[in-house]
Every structure is written in C-alpha cells, then in structure tokens.
A and B are shown apart, each in its own frame.
Chain A
Amino acid sequence: MARVDYKDMINYADDLLNKYKIFEGLDLVPLETYEGMDTRSAWDFKTPMATGYYKPYLIKGSTAIEKITIGELHYMRRAKYCALNMTASDDYDLPIYACEFDESAPRLGITIDLMPIADIAVHPEYREKYLDPLAADWRKYRTIPGFTEEGRCLLQRRYAPWNWARESLSPYSLDGRVVEPEDRYKVMDAIAAYARIWFDLLKKAEPMKDPQYKQEVLTRKKFLQKIYRDRDPGGEVIKKIFGDDKHHLFVSLIF
C-alpha cells in the first residue's frame, strides 16, 4: 500500500485553477460578506496547527450564485482538507456542487456530487435536467480503484456512519477512499468533470417560477446546509483549530 508524503500530496486548488482551469472565462469577484459574516479572515490563515485558505466568490454580474468557495486547510503538514462548493442563489434550483477532498499519507477520502435540492423521486424532471448529465462521467469514474474493488462497487458508503449525509447524495455521487497515488490523480479528473457540468447547467438555469415548488426547494436546501454545518465531522477539526467563533464562518463557506 503506497503512502504519500505531505510534500507529494496533490495541489488541489492550484491544479483545479491552473491545470484544469475550471474557472476559465468566469469573472470571479471575492465575496466579502456571507450571511452577515465578514469572510476575509478565511481568505488566508495561519495557526500553529493549520495553514491555508477558504475563499468565496461570486460571478460578476450574475444573480444566480450564492457562493463559489474553493480552499485548502493544511493540517500540521500531515494532511490536507480541501473543498470546492458551488451553491446557486435562492432563486435557482440548481443542485449544490459539493466536493470534499481529504488527503493524508495512507489515503484520499473523497466525495464529489451534485446534491439535489428537490426530492428527485417526486420530481423526475429535476433528475433529468440536472443530474442525468452526470451519468456518463459517473460510469467512467466509478471504476477508479477504491470506488470499485475486486468486482464490488462500493460507492455511497464513505459516509456510512452518517446517514443524514448519505441522504443528501444524488444517484451519481462519487465517494470513497482512494489509495494509490496515480488513482488520486484520476479523482482530480472527476472533480473537474463534475464542475464543468455544473457550470454548463448554470448557463441554462432559469429562476424558479412556481412559488410552491420554490418553497419546497428552499426548505430542502436550507435543511441540507444546516445539517452539514452542524454535523459534518470535518467541522470538529475546524472548531479545534479556530474555536467556536470562527467555526460557523468556515463551515458556512465550505457548505
């Protein structure tokens, strides 16, 4: 089993921005205030235990974005907790792009998804419009060793102890634990592929018109955000590093 030294770990944000160029063509502007909180203390941090940044953006001139956050937290030069979150504003029903990327020497723990903010069993048209475009990439990347092992595909099991989190996943989530260095890089391809699909969906997105549907969607969205911010085990690490005061800001930017 390969172990990866800290110095050889993936440069998550740098690769997404400069190698995969996922934001190319977008005029991103920093989001200084989010839900009444000044975000600037998260843009660049250094404590005895951690360094890094979580930086939120809007797209200039677009009313469709609530936040686009990208960031990395380097923990004691032993592990990296990285995130990319793209959330549409409350007028839009776009799924939440969520990527949690936790790399340590023995493994990469990864979850990539477009989380639906409508009940897709009741609204199959939501799945067709926003999630089915992931189908080909899901089938391609689910074969990455770690997602599939010895003929068993174990997607949707990384969050096994947290049923509330599994409830949030779409039928196309990619999640698991990936060990080999070359396979960790394949995961980066998947992260970029899902992000590109989200941006394609954003181009076609239109504000919700039906007030009852909008109410349903917002209830689900707010609930989803609340449970991740309150319960995500990564939040405990953040609390330990930054204390209760900053915890809410950081988890709100990440999810």
Chain B
Amino acid sequence: MADGSKWAPYIDKMQEQLSRLAPVEILQNLTAGKTLKAYAADKLAKIAIGDCTTGDGRHIGMCTIVPLEQYWLPLFFSFWEEREKEITFLVDIIPTVDSLVDEPYRIRYFDSIQPMWVKFASLPGITPFEDDAVRALCSIVYTAAVVPVDREGMRLAALAPHTEYLKSYIDFVKDAPLADGEAKLKEIKRKIEALKTALRSYVQRQYAGAIHEDMIKVFF
C-alpha cells in the first residue's frame, strides 16, 4: 500500500481457526500476490480459502465452507475487500433450508449467534450488504460493513467478525446432525446448489478480470 501499512492478515487468522477442523489439503496454489487452498474435512464437501491483490490496490479475501448435503448445517461465507482507507466485508452462516419455516434450524444456528450479531452492530460502517442478490441469501444474523480505516487497528477490528463467526461455525460442524428424512435432504440439496450458483455469480459479476475463473470455481 502507498502509505507503507500492511494488509490485514486475513489468511493467517482464518487458517488458525480452520485448523480446528483437522482439514486435509486437496489443493494449494501459491503464487506472487495470490493464495488459494482447498481442504476436505468431516461432514464438509469443501473448505476453500484464498486471497489476492489486484492491480488497482485491493486485497480480496474469501473463505467458503460448503457442508455435505446430507447434513443439517449452514454454509459459511466470508468475503473481504480491503483498500487502503476502507474495508468492505460480509460474513455469514447462510441457511441451507428455509429458516423461516424450519424453526429448530433457526434456533440452533442463528439464535445462538445473535449476541455476536448484536455486538458487531457497533462496528463503524455497519450496513446491509450492498448486493441485492447476495443479501437475499443471507441469514438474519449476517454481519456486513464498509469500515473506514482511519487508524490501523481498524483492520483487525474488521477481521474480528470473520474469525468469531468461523469459530462458532466450526463448533456447529462438530455437532451437526444428519438431515431428517428424504424431503429435508432434497430441500438442502436444492438450496446448496442455489446458494453456490448465486455466490459464484456475484463473484463473477464483481471481479470479472480481477479473479481468474478457475479460482472462482474452487470456492463454489
């Protein structure tokens, strides 16, 4: 960055948490200014994490955890776009069922995150996520913001929701039950596919040219 400050340690902080899942690496691609890793783990279809810097002065980070569809478990999504003076982010555990109707799902996963959601509301720049299609996928406890970086501590403050949500998600993975019955399995399968399609489409729309298509495929 022009003023000599450093990008937030997105990958390092997230990987510290991910290591609790005992992940098995299935892909690693490290090149100058780019990290991309994918893992397998119990109950999960895939964990993907990566970051890159772009020519126009952005540091983009992303982490997705897609559950195996036979589990009654949300999908983890963390999105990070850092500039010298501003960080735009979204972090969520996205429902893989209709969580209005499936109240036990809401109670188990979102009611328990609620205190964190309330706590992070005090973060400067907190705001609904700007992309309408992505906002439509989000849970009732997602946290998004456009944080002004007016002092260096703000980078770590903006990173805190990501590591905190991830920590909770990892606890959820450990206790995740199997989907109850054929209808629920079908619902989850359909919804996970819809979520992956919508998130992939968002990243393609937002970063056409900046992020290679092969990298996007790893996440979704």
A residues with CB within 8 A of B: 119-122, 124, 127, 131-132, 135, 142, 151-157, 160, 163-164, 166-172, 219-220, 223-224
Query: Are B128 and A124 within 8 A (Cβ)?
Result: no
- The count of chain B contact residues (Cβ–Cβ below 8 Å) is 33
Judge whether A151 and B100 touch: CB under 8 Å: no
> Does the CB pair A121–B194 fall under 8 Å?
yes
A160 to B118, CA, bound (A): 8
Binding site for A on B (CB under 8 A): 94-95, 98-101, 103, 106-107, 110-111, 114, 118, 121, 123-128, 132-133, 135-138, 140, 148, 190-191, 194-195, 198
CB nearest to B96 among chain A residues: A121
A152 CB to nearest chain B CB (Å): 5
A110 to chain B, nearest CB (A): 16
A156 lies within 8 A of B140 (CB): yes
| A127 to B132 Cα, complex, angstroms | 9
Q: A152-B127, A157-B121, A163-B114 are in contact. Are A171 and B194 (CB under 8 A)?
A: no
Contact B132 A224 (CB under 8 A): no
**Most interface-central of B100, B137, B190 (chain A CB within 10 A):** B100
Q: Tell me which of B121, B125, B191 contacts A119 (CB under 8 A).
A: B191
* B98-A220 in contact (CB<8A): yes
Q: Are A124 and B98 in contact (CB under 8 A)?
A: no
Known: A157-B121, A168-B100. 14 other contacts (CB 8 A): A121-B195, A121-B198, A124-B198, A132-B132, A135-B132, A142-B128, A152-B125, A152-B127, A153-B126, A163-B110, A167-B100, A169-B140, A220-B100, A223-B101
